[in-house]
């Protein structure tokens, strides 16, 4: 049988450029087209104006003494200044450290010290977080942190004013010394245990990944993209921002953090052609009471990614949101992030039941997790990927790097996948999420897809919980369309009977109002298990 290995096309060629060089080409080609829109304030930046604003911030950082290779942190929700810092740090060769907006003091302190952040750009306050107070709290314990600049604050204005005293020739001189393989970004991955690890990414990593994602979406300078996911994650800053600027397209900020109504307002007001989100975001948008009142007719494409994409949700996005060319993307922070993507001309089955096929210039393989041997197509194993997108390594953590990337350059994803005969990939779960019930392997995604067809269920996550007899049992955590109606384990078992194998039928049902999420919208199954175990210590469901 054919092995589970696939290599992407070699055309078009990889971009052998820095991010600043690539942006310069877009500015020269499309100076008067929109580059950035802040929907909440109504502010628009053409490419020419955006380039000027990026240069102001870059010169300000140079004036602050930021050298090539220095780490510059950005701790803020989605805002125009975030994007300016992203491109300004790239132009001066600083390594931008993206800090999760949800971090508290101990997490902030860890990241600032682990990355050795020299200058931090921060919001003053967002939602319930007083960022300034948290920075003041940790700053004495962060000896390498010399400067803090706050957005919409006199410190921001001073940064710009200091930079205005420098000659743009200094910036040109700095840029001329940069190379595509230079590290340009550290993104901290949210590990299930211990402290997060800093995936270190280069110009080549993230610029090419954004470019090829945009190529497969058919982006041109006419596209306008509502980037809903947070910029601190690859979904926002790579698949969103870099996919846009590498094609002369427009980035649209709907709101500082996810707001389903704001996202749809931005689509309608700005005549967006593309909308991004994780499945929970699309579900929230579709469930708005006034959903039908938004004019979404300008949409043609977008990306649903970040976690498992339920088939029924995908069908509604295509049918009710006019996103006939919407893509599913699969990847991880350590691979910049996308390794596989569905294509615009894929049939409905491929665009709802798979995560697509390998991107250009990349390789994927499905292997036996224990031996590393490539398995035949149609057989489940661990998905691994290799190519330009694989990170340089975890920042200052060679042991973790060696554990993640093997000697031949293959990145271990930790995801269980099946490669079809046509090269398309089905993700069947996480190795760590797989439930072993009485010796039977149970993959949560299969059950989740089925339970999405239940008329009372709006969303569902399946987890394994301890069981004295079987080792683990299956629990379905459900969000109902009408919570007051409830849903018992017996009722759900009756729905599943004769349609799922007996060992896959949930023994426990937990009705919840929402799922614990990361800032990027991924469901935190570890937290769900902890909550479920605590509840199960009482009377059984």
pTM for the predicted model, two decimal places: 0.86
List C-alpha distances in Å: 154 to 43, 124, 158: 20, 11, 6
Give the whole-angstrom CA distance, residue 279 versus residue 284. Answer: 9
Strands 34-38 and 43-46: antiparallel
Give the whole-angstrom CA distance, residue 355 versus residue 157. Answer: 45
The answer to whether residue 178 scores a pLDDT higher than 80 is yes
Domain 48-179, CATH? 3.40.50.980
* Secondary structure of 325-385 in HEC code, one letter for each residue: CCEEEEECHHHCCEEEECCCCCCHHHHHHCCCEECCCEEEEEECCCCCCECECCCCEEEEE
In this prediction, residues 283-312 reach a mean pLDDT of 90
Give 307-366 pLDDT, tens digit per residue: 667 778 888 999 999 999 999 999 999 999 999 999 999 988 888 889 999 999 999 999
Cis peptide before 464 (omega within 30 of 0): no
pLDDT of residue 441: 74
Give the whole-angstrom CA distance, residue 535 versus residue 541. Answer: 9
User: Phi-psi region for residue 248, left (φ > 0), alpha (ψ -120 to 50) or beta?
Assistant: left
In this prediction, residues 4-16 reach a mean pLDDT of 97
Confidence tier at 541 by pLDDT (50, 70, 90): very low
- b (16+ CB within 10 A) / e for 289-328: eeeeebebeebbbbbbbbbbbbbebbebbbeebbbebbbb
Contacts of 48 (CB under 8 A, 6+ apart): 27, 31, 32
Q: How many helices (H) and strands (E) does the chain have?
A: 18, 26
For 29, counting Cβ atoms within 10 Å of its Cβ (0-12 exposed, 13-18 middle, 19+ buried), the class is exposed
Give the whole-angstrom CA distance, residue 321 versus residue 234. Answer: 24
The answer to whether residue 193 scores a pLDDT higher than 60 is no
pLDDT of residue 190: 63
Run of H or E including 469: none
Bigger pLDDT: 470 vs 164: 164
Confidence tier at 6 by pLDDT (50, 70, 90): very high
Give 90-130 pLDDT, tens digit per residue: 999 999 999 989 888 888 999 999 999 999 999 999 988 89
The fold for domain 435-536 equals GMP Synthetase; Chain A, domain 3 (3.30.300)
Question: Do 226 and 263 touch, CB atoms closer than 8 A?
Answer: yes
Q: Which of 117, 201, 119 is nearest to 163 (CA)?
A: 119
* Secondary structure of 387-455 in HEC code, one letter for each residue: ECCCCCEECCCHHHHHHHECCCCCEEEEEEEEECCCCCEEEEEECCCCEEECCEEECHHHHHHHHCCCC
Q: Which of 264, 325, 328 is nearest to 300 (CA)?
A: 325
Report domain extents, the chain.
Answer: 48-179, 435-536
Give the whole-angstrom CA distance, residue 331 versus residue 338. Answer: 4
Give the whole-angstrom CA distance, residue 457 versus residue 488. Answer: 12
Confidence tier at 231 by pLDDT (50, 70, 90): very high
């Amino acid at each position: 049988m054919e092995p589970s290995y696939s290599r992407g096309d070699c055309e078009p060629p990889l971009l052998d450029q820095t991010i600043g060089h690539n942006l310069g080409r877009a500015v020269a080609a499309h100076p008067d087209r929109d580059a950035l829109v802040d929907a909440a304030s109504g502010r628009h930046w053409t490419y020419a104006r955006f380039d000027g604003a990026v240069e102001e911030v870059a010169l300000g950082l140079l004036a602050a003494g930021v050298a090539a290779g220095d780490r510059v942190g950005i701790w803020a929700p989605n805002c125009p200044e975030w994007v300016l810092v992203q491109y300004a740090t790239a132009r001066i060769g600083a390594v931008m450290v993206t800090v999760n907006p949800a971090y508290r003091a101990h997490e902030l302190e860890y990241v600032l010290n682990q990355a050795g952040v020299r200058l931090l750009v921060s919001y003053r306050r967002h939602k319930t977080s007083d960022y300034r107070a948290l920075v003041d709290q940790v700053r004495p314990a962060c000896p390498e942190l010399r400067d803090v600049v706050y957005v919409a604050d006199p410190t921001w204005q001073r940064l710009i004013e200091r930079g205005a005293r420098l000659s743009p020739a200094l910036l040109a001189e700095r840029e001329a010394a940069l190379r595509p393989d230079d590290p340009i970004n550290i993104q901290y991955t949210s590990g299930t245990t211990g402290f997060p690890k800093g995936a270190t990414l280069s110009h080549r990593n993230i610029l090419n990944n954004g470019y090829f994602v945009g190529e497969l979406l058919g982006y041109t300078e006419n596209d306008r993209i509502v980037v809903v996911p947070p910029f601190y994650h690859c979904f926002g800053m790579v698949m969103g921002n870099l996919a846009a600027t590498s094609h002369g397209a427009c980035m649209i900020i709907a709101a500082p953090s996810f707001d389903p109504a704001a996202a749809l307002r931005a689509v309608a007001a700005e005549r967006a052609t593309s909308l991004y989100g994780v499945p929970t975001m699309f579900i929230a948008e579709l469930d708005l009471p006034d959903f039908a009142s938004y004019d979404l007719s300008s949409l043609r494409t977008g990306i649903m990614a970040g976690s498992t994409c339920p088939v029924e949700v995908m069908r509604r996005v295509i049918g009710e949101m006019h996103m006939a060319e919407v893509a599913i993307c699969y990847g991880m922070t350590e691979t910049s992030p996308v390794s596989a993507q569905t294509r615009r001309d894929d049939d409905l089955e491929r665009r709802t039941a798979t995560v697509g096929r390998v991107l250009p210039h990349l390789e994927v393989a499905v292997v036996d997790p224990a031996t590393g041997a490539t398995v035949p197509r149609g057989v489940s194993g661990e998905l691994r990927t290799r190519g330009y997108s694989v990170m340089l390594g975890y920042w200052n953590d060679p042991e973790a790097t060696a554990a993640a990337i093997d000697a031949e350059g293959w990145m271990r994803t930790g995801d269980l996948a099946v490669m079809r005969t046509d090269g398309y990939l089905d993700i069947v779960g996480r190795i760590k999420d797989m439930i072993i019930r009485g010796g039977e392997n149970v993959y949560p995604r299969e059950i989740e897809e089925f339970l999405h067809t239940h008329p009372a269920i709006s969303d569902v996550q399946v987890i394994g919980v301890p069981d004295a007899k079987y080792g683990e049992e299956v629990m379905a955590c459900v969000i109902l369309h009408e919570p007051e109606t409830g849903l018992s384990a017996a009722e759900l078992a009756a729905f599943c009977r004769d349609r799922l194998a007996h060992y896959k039928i949930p023994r426990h049902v937990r009705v919840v109002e929402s799922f614990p999420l990361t800032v990027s919208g991924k469901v935190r199954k570890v937290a769900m298990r902890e909550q479920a175990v605590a509840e199960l210590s009482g009377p059984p469901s």
